[in-house]
Structure 1
Amino acid sequence: MKINTIPLKIVVSVIMIITVMLSIIFGIGIWDIFHKPDILFIKVLFYFSFLISLLLNLVSCSQVYKILKYMDKDVIFTKQIQGIINRIKKITYAVFVVLWGIFPMMYHAAMITKVYATIPIALVFIFSPLILSTFTAVIEQLLRKIIEIKSENDLTV
């Protein structure tokens, strides 16, 4: 079964381009912070958390692109794909941990501005990679079962 992956590759490429642009912007922000006398640890943690999470997302997008290339070769249900999905799951766990670094800045901003609604919004933003990693773990388990069924069918034929 041949799947047309060109639209998916375009979407992943656009996401990667946006991620690179945001990484450059946050890199400039980090550069500006270190040249100002009022370096706050919370600001530095905020910018570094976003930068590291963007770079991890870039790695994750490259892994998704690799899966799409395997789909073009019609090699879908293999151990290589399962390994790539496992890597994506680990990367999304890492993004979840890294994004906890933005929470002190969001809490500080909420206390200064008295806009407490930003805290739940920040928590939704922080927990979204955890939801993605759970989904990826489910996909990994499904793929593992499919590979087992495929290997049993290959043995019977």
Structure 2
Amino acid sequence: MKKGTTLFLKITVILIGIPVLALCIFLVPELGNIAAKLLPEFAFIKYLVFLVFYASAIPFYFALYQAFKLLHYIDKNKAFSQISVEALKKIKFCAITISTLNVLVLPLFYLFAEKDDAPGVIFVGLVVPFASVVIAVFAAVLQRLLQEAIDIKSENDLTV
């Protein structure tokens, strides 16, 4: 792969992280305040919103870092190596963690939907967990294919 292509992908990975950082800085505190106003009988709800969304941001940025490392391995012609498989494995576990954390917050979306009488809010709450599961499955498939390619390559190296 040409350096220009991986450079573009590296810039894209960085640009993906910027909106999430902005959401963490500006939107999450607002969501916490809205949750506290909508559900005053649950005093802890504001901190639960903070905990879940900020805890989801940690594996998200770790996965972005692993993707950045994977692109670096491609630049160094180490794409078909065990370290690339490990990076994909870490991305898969990060996506599973994000999905799990966001599934835990789905009851909160249900309470919002009941309070505002808007059932579509529940579907909005399902977007991130389903997207994370899709990423986890995609990373698992790539991990397995890459591992099989490495095994075939090492087998061929032994027979020659």
Q: TM-score, normalised by structure 2?
A: 0.84
Note if contact 1:53-1:95 (Cα within 8 Å) is conserved in structure 2: yes
1:9 pairs with 2:2: no
- Percent of residue pairs bearing the same amino acid type: 32
Note if contact 1:45-1:101 (Cα within 8 Å) is conserved in structure 2: no
Q: TM-score, normalised by structure 1?
A: 0.85
| C-alpha distance in structure 2 between counterparts of 1:26 and 1:83, whole Å | 33
| C-alpha distance in structure 2 between counterparts of 1:149 and 1:137, whole Å | 18
1:55 pairs with 2:58: yes
Note if contact 1:12-1:61 (Cα within 8 Å) is conserved in structure 2: yes
Give the aligned partner of residue 151 of structure 1. Answer: 154
RMSD: 2.4
User: What is the letter of the counterpart of residue 128 of structure 2?
Assistant: F
Structure 1 moving runs of 4+ over 3 Å: 26-33
1:122 pairs with 121, 125, 134, which one? 125
Give the aligned partner of residue 86 of structure 1. Answer: 89
Note if contact 2:81-2:150 (Cα within 8 Å) is conserved in structure 1: yes
* Structure 2: unaligned runs, 5 residues or longer: none
Structure showing greater relative contact order (alpha-carbon pairs closer than 8 Å, 6 or more residues apart): 1
Give aligned pairs, total.
Answer: 154
